Amino acid sequence: MTRSATLAALAATSSLAGMPMTAAAQAQPQPVAAAPAAVPAAAPAPAPVEIVRTITISGAQRLEPDTIRSYIRLKEGDKYSQAAADQVLKDLYATELFADVQLRDNGGDVVIEVKENPVVNRIILEGNKRLKEDKILPEIKLAARQIFTRSKVRADVARIIELYKRQGRFAASIEPKMVMLDQNRVDIVFEINEGPKSRVRQINVIGNEKFSASQLRGEMVTKQARVFRAFSSGTSYDPDRLAFDQQKLRQFYLTNGYADFRVVSAVAELTPDKRDFIITYVVEEGQRYKFGDVKVDSQLRDFDGDALAKRLPLKPAQWYNAKLVEDTVDSLTETAGSFGYAFADVRPDFNRNKDDLTMSVTFRIAEAPRVYVERVDVNGNTLTQDKVVRREFRIAEGDAFNSFQIKRSSNRIKSLGYFQEKFEVEQKPGSAQDRILLEANVEEKPTGQLQLSAGFSSLESFIFQASIQQNNFRGRGQTVGASVDYSRYSRSVQLSFTEPYLFDRNVSLGVDIYRRDFNSFNFFNANRNTTYKQSTTGFQVRAGLPLTEYMSLIGRYTLNLENVTLDQNTYYLPDANGVQRCSIYLAGRYLCDAIGKRTSSILGASVVYDTLDNRLRPTSGSQVVVGADFAGLGGSVRYARISANASRYFSIGKGFVFSLRGEGGAIKALSNRTNDPTIDDVRLTDRFFLGQPQLRGFDIRGVGPRVLRKFYSGFDPKDGTGGVTSTDRNQWVDDALGGKYYYLGHAELEIPLGSGARELGLRPSIFLDAGAAFSVARPATFGTTLLYQDNVTGRLTTSAADSTGKANNVAQKFDESFLGDSPKPRISLGFGVNWNSPFGPFRIDVAKVLSKVDGDDPQTVNFNVGTQF
Dihedral sign, CA of 285, 287, 292, 298?
negative
CA 642/CA 664 separation, integer angstroms: 9
Quick one: pLDDT band at residue 792, thresholds 50, 70, 90? confident
Write down the pTM of the prediction: 0.61
Quick one: pLDDT band at residue 532, thresholds 50, 70, 90? low
Amino acid, single-letter form, for residue 414: K
CA 487/CA 15 separation, integer angstroms: 71
Using the predicted structure, report yes or no on whether residue 527 has a pLDDT greater than 50. Answer: no
pLDDT of residue 768: 96
Minimal CA–CA distance to 536: which of 558, 520, 516, 564? 516
Q: What is the mean pLDDT of residues 698-711?
A: 89
Share the mean pLDDT of the chain. 83
3-state secondary structure of 157: helix
pLDDT of residue 525: 42
pLDDT of residue 779: 84
CA 577/CA 597 separation, integer angstroms: 24
Dihedral sign, CA of 158, 160, 161, 162?
positive
Q: DSSP label at 697?
A: T
pLDDT of residue 540: 96
Amino acid, single-letter form, for residue 637: V
CA 835/CA 762 separation, integer angstroms: 5
pLDDT of residue 518: 72
Residue pair 410/439 in contact (Cβ under 8 Å)? The answer is no
pLDDT of residue 339: 84
**Each residue's pLDDT tens digit, 296-309:** 998 887 788 888 88
Quick one: pLDDT band at residue 16, thresholds 50, 70, 90? very low
Minimal CA–CA distance to 343: which of 299, 378, 390, 379? 299
Burial 116-148 (b: 16+ CB within 10 A, else e): bbbbbbebebeebeebeeeebeeebebeeeebb
Residue pair 168/195 in contact (Cβ under 8 Å)? The answer is no
Q: What is the mean pLDDT of residues 422-432?
A: 86
Q: What is the mean pLDDT of residues 419-423?
A: 79
Per-residue three-class SS string for 222-262: CCCCCHHHCCCHHHECCHHHHHHHHHHHHHHHHHCCCCCCE
Asked if omega into 693 is within 30° of 0 (cis), the reply is: yes
**Each residue's pLDDT tens digit, 707-743:** 888 889 889 988 889 999 888 887 787 888 899 999 9
**Between 7 and 276, the higher pLDDT residue:** 276
CA 571/CA 569 separation, integer angstroms: 6
Using the predicted structure, report yes or no on whether residue 31 has a pLDDT greater than 50. Answer: no
**Between 304 and 552, the higher pLDDT residue:** 552
pLDDT of residue 27: 34
Q: What is the mean pLDDT of residues 16-36?
A: 37
Provide the strand spans (E) within 500-620: 508-524, 527-546, 551-566, 572-574, 580-582, 596-610
pLDDT of residue 144: 87
Using the predicted structure, report yes or no on whether residue 529 has a pLDDT greater than 60. Answer: no
Give me the residues paired with residue 610 across strands: 623
Q: Which long-range contacts (CB under 8 A, 24 or more apart) does 803-806 make?
A: none
Using the predicted structure, report yes or no on whether residue 34 has a pLDDT greater than 50. Answer: no
